[in-house]
Amino acid sequence: MSDMEGSPGSSMHGVTGREPTFALSVASPMVPTDTTANFDLPVDSEHKAKVFKLFSFANPHMRTFHLSWISFFTCFVSTFAAAPLVPIIRDNLNLKKQDIGNAGVASVSGSIFSRLVMGAVCDLLGPRYGCAFLIMLSAPTVFCMTFVSDAGGYIAVRFMIGFSLATFVSCQYWMSTMFNSKIIGLVNGTAAGWGNMGGGATQLLMPLIYEIIRRTGATPFTAWRIAFLIPGWLHIIMGILVLTLGQDLPDGNLSSLQKKGNVAKDKFGKVLWYAVTNYRTWIFVLLYGYSMGVELSTDNVVAEYFYDRFDLKLHTAGIIAATFGMANLVARPFGGFASDKAAQLFGMRGRLWVLWTLQTCGGIFCIWLGRANSLPIAVLAMILFSVGAQAACGATFGIIPFISRRSLGIISGLTGAGGNFGSGLTQLIFFSTSRFSTAAGLSWMGVMIVACTLPVTLVHFPQWGGMFLPPSKDVNRSTEEHYYSSEWDEDEKKRGMHSASLKFAENSRSERGKRVASAPTPPNTTPSNV
Amino acid sequence: MAAAPRLLLGFLLVLACFSETCFATITFSSLPRTLVVTASHPQRLLKAGEDKITVRWGLNQTLAAGTDSAYKSIKVELCYAPISQVDRAWRKTVDNLSKDKTCQFKIVKGPYTTTNQSSEWTIERDVPTATYFVRAYALDAKDNEVAYGQNTDAKKTTNLFEIQAITGRHVSLDIASVCFSAFSIVALMGFFLAEKRKGIKAQQ
């Protein structure tokens, strides 16, 4: 299993076609347990855990899980910490609507670049240092909020704090060194979802901290600045915990990994080419921009919206806004679960329909949210919108592993970047101008969600079909093997570099749904070097 | 049997009357401008937390006696001028007074007297940087607005004054931020170098 360590795609490596999102453990015959190892959890031959025991802090596997998701959670808290305090900040800094909107765009744009760099940093320094470096070097940017005195400074600081969202990459990378590939789907999905919850928790936390500081006698314009010291310290504390309690690999730290030579590395140029020339990549980049992207945008605007539209107190608006982000606890895993269930019955077509349904429903509820005139209806619409959008995020990553085997890492990275890009674009169009009130902006965002989800109807796999069209009738093209080995040229196939793809293809036959049993043996798929 | 529908009708009528008083929307355009309000202050940029504004209000003496029979209390407020409402929907002027966001700071509230009154108000420290005017509402016994007066004209262009907010920054806070940031960077570098040194020692 030590092929291609550290190469592009290895962070999502080992995600095969078959694990359901809720695989909590891997049974012994499938993956043999290494009985000589002395860990709290059963491990495989690489000492990666085969079991996901949620409430354990055992070193190193579960401890890594908790350190990792809490670090990611902390970065979400600080990136969106300003959002629930905007009603105070906008008066202190004399902001206009454009300034508030531009700051929201800035807060999600920084991480587009930092996530790309983070992959390389994890390859060089290991995920433990990658995470610690990012989280401790972004602590000063959080503390900078205390100095801000005008719109320009506010936008700049939110941009810099946004870089810390690249902990997503270190989080996923670190998990893949600690958990067996058959359960990595659940582990990574849970970590991502729980990290995203930080965007909700901060809407509760920051107004509470602000209120407490005000009660001690500080004026509002000073109290919000002091409140920012808390997320800053969370960064420092998590960074120190990661450095002292964490380790890169089950057996120790990164230096031992780097001693292993002779691994066949894949060429970055080729991996990028196959990612970029697959049209499905771009459809999912767009789609994720309107599931994850709108989630991030809503994290930025919803507290201020409830405060202004319904004349609520700051902490009441915060509580309502928090329920939006906190729904990630169950909504995102639910999306993955629904996708897997649909795949069992209807194969890939089921997955596509589930994604389209969840995301479109999210869009419709978003339209409703903007138009709701009474508080209870608005809260109901918001909760339904959050479930739709977040479940769609989970369902998206139920499909992404099947787009490509060779370029999985890059496609995941591009999709993630698409999420942030969609968020920035949406905030720029709808929430940075006085042309739309925030309510109208929300409704138009809902319309855009429905429109931008339509391209999923164009996704077609020759071996499995699409939402409406059946699989290809051509006997050669309608096999999983053909699809996955078409990413390798003849020369590479001669060298047997595509053998992992062939294994993946065999495992992915489950995406035919109930038709698996009737799949004929495809001709010309036996690799020539067998 | 005939009593029941009549009882229901009566009940609905009573309910309708209650709802009238509970949900009556008072609009600004329905209020008569019967009060005269002036605000005096130093003729320069006013500083929040330091400068004082003296507000005087009273009934317009040219009006008939008895105009103010319903006035029981007065509330005087600091209100945003139109220039400070541009691109800031959270300060929007709306006719329905329960939704109007023009006046967000209370200067003084007290019982109404027929003689002219005045009050000296130190500008509070949570007042943002903006251009303002002063408005007084006369309230009846149920605390509903029944009349108003303001120190500017109907188009809100004259007698406006600017207030400069406090920055909210403090030297001690700035120093604390710098120290914490430095600690974060130094701690990280310290750990990194210490582990590198341990790695080199282990190799030797």
What distance in Å separates residue B100's CA from the closest CA in chain A?
11
- Rounded to whole angstroms, the Cα distance separating A141 from A135 reads 10
Query: Residue B121 in contact with residue B55, Cβ under 8 Å?
Result: yes
Give the H or E element holding residue B136.
Answer: strand B130-139
Locate the chain A residue with the closest alpha carbon to B83.
A96
- Rounded to whole angstroms, the Cα distance separating A41 from A6 reads 25
- A449: number of CA atoms within 13 Å, CB side? 38
Give the single-character DSSP code of B26: P
Q: A472: closest CA among A484, A483, A457?
A: A483
Query: Residue B107 in contact with residue B121, Cβ under 8 Å?
Result: yes
Query: Residue B15 in contact with residue B112, Cβ under 8 Å?
Result: no
Q: What is the DSSP string of B72-131?
A: -EEEEEEEE-GGGTTT-GGG---SBTTT--SEEEEEEEEE--SS-EEEEEEPPTTPPSEE
B82 Cβ neighbours under 8 A, 6+ residues apart = B93, B156
Q: Would the CB atoms of A221 and B166 count as touching at under 8 Å?
A: yes
Neighbour count for residue A228 (Cβ, 10 Å)? 26
Both structure tokens of A358: 């969840």
- Rounded to whole angstroms, the Cα distance separating A404 from A461 reads 11
Q: Would the CB atoms of A434 and B89 count as touching at under 8 Å?
A: yes
Closest partner residue to A136 (CB to CB) among B170, B174, B184 is B184
First to last CA, chain B: 106
Looking at residue B1, its pLDDT comes to 53
Q: Would the CB atoms of A143 and B165 count as touching at under 8 Å?
A: no
What distance in Å separates residue B101's CA from the closest CA in chain A?
10
The b/e string for A497-529 (b: 16+ C-beta within 10 A; e otherwise) is bbbbbbebbbebbbbbbeeeeeeeebeeeeeee
Residue type, A435: R
Q: Would the CB atoms of B177 and A143 count as touching at under 8 Å?
A: yes
Q: What is the DSSP string of A201-246?
A: HHHHHHHHHHHHHHHTT--HHHHHHHHTHHHHHHHHHHHHHHHHH-
Looking at residue A440, its pLDDT comes to 95
- Rounded to whole angstroms, the Cα distance separating A67 from A194 reads 12
What distance in Å separates residue A408's CA from the closest CA in chain B?
32
pLDDT digits (tens, 9 = 90+) for B9-48: 656 655 554 444 445 789 999 999 999 999 999 999 999 9
- Rounded to whole angstroms, the Cα distance separating A487 from A271 reads 9
Q: Tell me how far the alpha carbon of residue A56 is from its chain's centroid.
A: 23
Residues in B touching A129 (Cβ below 8 Å): 192
Q: A151: closest CA among A107, A80, A90?
A: A90
Q: Is the pLDDT of residue A526 over 70?
A: no
Q: Would the CB atoms of A221 and B184 count as touching at under 8 Å?
A: no
The pLDDT-based confidence of A262 (bands split at 50, 70, 90) is very low
Neighbour count for residue A399 (Cβ, 10 Å)? 22
The pLDDT-based confidence of A26 (bands split at 50, 70, 90) is low
Alpha carbon distances (Å) from A128 to A175, A177, A233, A354, B200: 11, 11, 19, 36, 19
- Rounded to whole angstroms, the Cα distance separating A121 from A107 reads 22
Both structure tokens of A454: 């339509």
pLDDT digits (tens, 9 = 90+) for A446-471: 999 999 999 999 999 999 999 999 88
A511 Cβ neighbours under 8 A, 6+ residues apart = A17, A343, A347, A348, A351, A402, A461, A463, A464, A480
First to last CA, chain A: 19
E-strand stretches of A347-484: 460-461, 465-466
Give the H or E element holding residue B199.
Answer: helix B171-203
The pLDDT-based confidence of A401 (bands split at 50, 70, 90) is confident
Q: Tell me how far the alpha carbon of residue A185 is from its chain's centroid.
A: 12
Predicted structure pTM score:
0.84
Peptide bond into A60 cis (omega under 30): yes
Residues in A touching B188 (Cβ below 8 Å): 132-133, 136-137, 239, 243
Looking at residue A1, its pLDDT comes to 34
Q: Would the CB atoms of A222 and B168 count as touching at under 8 Å?
A: yes
Looking at residue A529, its pLDDT comes to 43
Angle, CA of A464, A465 and A471, to the nearest 5°: 80
Closest partner residue to A147 (CB to CB) among B90, B165, B169 is B169
SS3 B150: strand
Neighbour count for residue A89 (Cβ, 10 Å)? 24
- Rounded to whole angstroms, the Cα distance separating A510 from A524 reads 21
Q: What is the mean pLDDT of residues B152-164?
A: 93
Q: Would the CB atoms of A139 and B177 count as touching at under 8 Å?
A: no
Q: Is the pLDDT of residue A128 over 70?
A: yes
Locate the chain B residue with the closest alpha carbon to A223.
B168
Torsion sign over Cα B27, A316, A103, A94 = positive
Q: Tell me how far the alpha carbon of residue A60 is from its chain's centroid.
A: 23
Residue type, A432: S
Closest partner residue to B181 (CB to CB) among A143, A219, A308 is A143
pLDDT digits (tens, 9 = 90+) for A72-122: 999 999 999 999 999 999 999 999 999 999 999 999 999 988 887 887 788
Residues in A touching B177 (Cβ below 8 Å): 143-144, 146-147, 229, 232
Among A211-215, A259-263, B160-164, which stretch is predicted with the lowest mean pLDDT? A259-263
- A290: number of CA atoms within 13 Å, CB side? 29
pLDDT digits (tens, 9 = 90+) for B84-126: 999 999 999 999 999 999 999 999 999 998 889 999 999 999 9
Locus of tokens 């992915």: A508
Residues in A touching B187 (Cβ below 8 Å): 136, 236, 239-240
Neighbour count for residue A29 (Cβ, 10 Å)? 6
Q: Is the pLDDT of residue A158 over 60?
A: yes
Closest partner residue to B181 (CB to CB) among A90, A133, A139 is A139
Locus of tokens 């690799």: A527
Neighbour count for residue B194 (Cβ, 10 Å)? 11
Closest partner residue to B168 (CB to CB) among A221, A434, A438 is A221
Locate the chain A residue with the closest alpha carbon to B171.
A147
Q: What is the DSSP string of A37-82?
A: ---SS-B-TT--BSB--TT---TTHHHHHHHHHHHHHHHHHHHTTT
Looking at residue B65, its pLDDT comes to 81
Looking at residue A375, its pLDDT comes to 96
Looking at residue A139, its pLDDT comes to 97
Locate the chain B residue with the closest alpha carbon to A214.
B126
Q: A456: closest CA among A417, A385, A400?
A: A400
User: Which residue out of A135, A138, A225 would a mutagenesis test of the B interface target, given it has the greatest number of B Cβ atoms within 10 Å?
Assistant: A225
Alpha carbon distances (Å) from A179 to A61, A121, A427: 7, 21, 37
